[in-house]
Amino acid sequence: MKMRHLGKSGLEVSTLGLGCMGLSYGYGPALEKNEAIRLIRRAADLGVTFFDTAEAYGPFVNEEVVGEALQPIRDQVVIATKFGFFEGDTRKGMDSRPENIRAVANAALKRLKTDRIDLFYQHRTDRNVPIEDVAGTVQDLIKQGKVKHFGLSEAGIQTIRRAHAVQPVTALQSEYSLFWREPEKEIIPVLEELDIGFVPFSPLGKGFLTGKMDENTAFHASDYRNIFPRFSVEMRSANKALVEQITTIAKSHGVTPAQIALAWLLAQKPWIVPIPGTTKVERLEENLKSADIELSAKELAQIEAALSSIPIHGDRYPPALQARVGD
């Protein structure tokens, strides 16, 4: 597995990381613990050194699984986790008060079975707490050796600038894919200006870009895609043209739609590190092979031309979740 640096921070990680959320939360029933550990360790065996979790995934159980899986190779990997929800529960609103950030850090260290958090993200912007206070608190944790790097998730450009002025931001984690290209307008230019790495979550459009989902796909009752406007039956039908075009491009390369989607992301900037997630070892192996696909400038231009005329239908988030996206 090739390596990349997240901005100028010096944090080196595998070209593709592993988003661990879906092992415990978000996409239906949690994977059995031993199976989740097996998948994480298989990722490590294949060269993945960057693993993403959060206290809110469960809550708490995902950190425990990640910690147990990686404990034998802790010094060989980078673990990212997050703070920012009241009692770690996404349903209870935001809580980035300094005392909570410190409490979350201490609890996460225990669950992750480690003495430091490599990358500590604010999970979502908390409009009740100045971002300067958040950055200052994480800076204190860095001075104490409990945290190595500071990150933000779904923050806007003003929040990024204000936080970075207090404590350098190593990485922004936000959604970015062929299914959601909004970061290209403002976010990516600011990250490039400030030398901040970009960690796209949902790089496969929450599964939509794999070509294995259509308007007839039924989601489990606990799958959070049920509440996303873009994943309604009508919107999935309307957006089929995008997947069909990506599938055509993939076939011409002898690869899968998922591999094209990930290779496209990797080609955008050398400091972009996607974190696709999966519960299946065969999908993990498929995803990681995309790191070996190098799309030429001509091929990227062809992809751009093929997709530029295809509109994307449906809002990314319902209003309540969209309100958590920072300014």
> Could you read off the pLDDT of 242-276 as tens digits, one per residue?
999 999 999 999 999 999 999 999 999 999 999 99
pLDDT recorded at residue 305? 94
57 in active site: yes
> Exposed, middle or buried: residue 276 (CB in 10 Å: 0-12, 13-18, 19+)?
buried
How many separate domains does the chain show?
1
> How far is 327 from 121, CA to CA, in rounded Å?
16
Residues in Cβ contact with 181 at an 8 Å cutoff, skipping those fewer than 6 apart: none
97-119: average pLDDT: 98
Does some domain include residue 67? yes
Quote the Cα angle for 2-120-34, to 5°: 70
Does some domain include residue 61? yes
What is the b/e burial string over 247-261, where b = at least 16 CB atoms within 10 angstroms of the residue's CB?
Answer: bebbeeeebbbbbbb
pLDDT recorded at residue 298? 94
> How far is 240 from 253, CA to CA, in rounded Å?
20
Percent of the chain residues topping a pLDDT of 90 = 99
Q: What backbone torsions phi and psi does residue 64 show, to the nearest 5 degrees?
A: -65, -45
> How far is 247 from 249, CA to CA, in rounded Å?
5
pLDDT recorded at residue 39? 98
> How far is 78 from 47, CA to CA, in rounded Å?
12
Quote the Cα angle for 74-88-202, to 5°: 70
SS3 56: coil
Question: How does pLDDT run across 204-221, given as a tens digit for each residue?
Answer: 999 999 999 999 999 999
pLDDT recorded at residue 187? 98
What is the b/e burial string over 51-77, where b = at least 16 CB atoms within 10 angstroms of the residue's CB?
Answer: bbbbbbbbbbbbbbbbbbbbeeeeeeb
Does some domain include residue 327? no
Marked catalytic residue, from 25, 27, 57, 176: 57
Does some domain include residue 223? yes
> Exposed, middle or buried: residue 100 (CB in 10 Å: 0-12, 13-18, 19+)?
buried
Q: What's the pTM value of the predicted model, to 2 decimals? A: 0.98
Contact 287, 259 (CB under 8 A): yes
| Number of helical (H) and strand (E) elements in the chain, helices listed first | 12, 9
Task: Look up residue 139 and give its two tokens.
Answer: 């800076």
Does some domain include residue 290? yes
55-74: average pLDDT: 98
Q: Which domain holds residue 262?
A: 3-322
SS3 31: coil
Does some domain include residue 45? yes
Question: How does pLDDT run across 156-180, given as a tens digit for each residue?
Answer: 999 999 999 999 999 999 999 999 9
Amino acid residing at 322: Q
Q: How confident is the model at residue 231 (pLDDT cuts 50, 70, 90)?
A: very high
Does some domain include residue 228? yes
Domain harbouring 239, CATH code: 3.20.20.100
60-68: average pLDDT: 98
pLDDT recorded at residue 1? 94
> How far is 228 from 201, CA to CA, in rounded Å?
16
> How far is 263 from 299, CA to CA, in rounded Å?
11
